[in-house]
Amino acid sequence: MRLCTPATATLPLAAAAALLLTPTPAQAAPTALTAPTAPTCATPDARTFPLSTRIHGGPDAYEIGGGYGTWYLDLTNTTDRTCENIHPVVVLVDKKHALEPDQPQLEFYEGKRPRPVRFETTDEDELVGVFRQGLTVAPGKTRTVKVRLALTSDAVPNEVTAHAAVVQRREDDGDWVGQSNDYRFAVATDDAAPPPTDTNTDTADALPDAEEAAELAHTGPSTPARLLAAALLLTTGGTLLLARRR
């Protein structure tokens, strides 16, 4: 997994930065074992991600055991190259570390068809879910993906931060090509519960400036490991943590 701009990684995204996408049991047909080879939409010397990624439109609170809330993920291709085999990776971090993988019911739409997203737990008590159907974003265009989320009745009142890393799969490896802003919401027993303490922010508020990024880019192993390595490999038998450096 190549991290296109490792210096701009935010801490909650690092566990998903190098997520390798493997077929689920339902996809284990011979034609699904290897993703088509696609030219990378990133360049090695790029200082920004090729895909500008933004979450917007979501509710401030979700009722436990209630219906779906809808939000949207914008993927904007800022290059003159087609970005194929694009897989958003949604990361959920809850304040109480009580959210279980089967409690968030997340789906994204490919056309009119909703597709489920299965979550796995990391060693940092984050939940990570992959959009396993690859997306294509044309040069200079924005692709908006509709997403909906509900919480099962056994969830507990909580505060959750959602964000998305974006991976371009290239055979058995891939490039980290985008990351979104934070989307914060409450998990409550009814719709009247107050929203989370923090307000939703854009990615730019969390990223270092160019001078700081340049300094971080030249640091060695002393740079926080979760910013530069840490990979999650989702297999049919469970979750395997795999560390790979650029």
Rounded to whole angstroms, how far apart are CA atoms 173 and 217? Answer: 22
Rounded to whole angstroms, how far apart are CA atoms 118 and 44? Answer: 31
Judge if pTM exceeds 0.75: no
Alpha helices in the chain (DSSP H): 210-217, 225-228
Q: Of the candidates 78, 97, 208, 88, which has an alpha carbon nearest to the alpha carbon of residue 146? A: 88
> DSSP letter at 39?
-
Rounded to whole angstroms, how far apart are CA atoms 193 and 230? Answer: 36
Average pLDDT of the segment spanning 82-101: 96
| pLDDT > 90 fraction of the chain, expressed in percent and rounded | 51
Can you say whether residue 212 is alpha, beta or left, with left for phi > 0 and alpha for psi between -120 and 50 degrees?
alpha
Q: Tell how strand 2-3 and strand 173-179 pair up.
A: parallel
Q: Of the candidates 130, 185, 187, 132, which has an alpha carbon nearest to the alpha carbon of residue 155? A: 187
Region of poorest pLDDT, from 40-44, 138-142, 162-166, 222-226: 222-226
State pLDDT tens for residues 48-68: 899 999 999 999 999 999 999
Q: Residue ranges per domain, the chain?
A: 2-242
CATH among 3.30.565.10, 3.30.590.10, 2.60.40.3670, 3.90.640.10 for 2-242: 2.60.40.3670
Report the b/e string of 17-31 with b at 16+ CB within 10 A.
bbbbbbbeeeeeeee
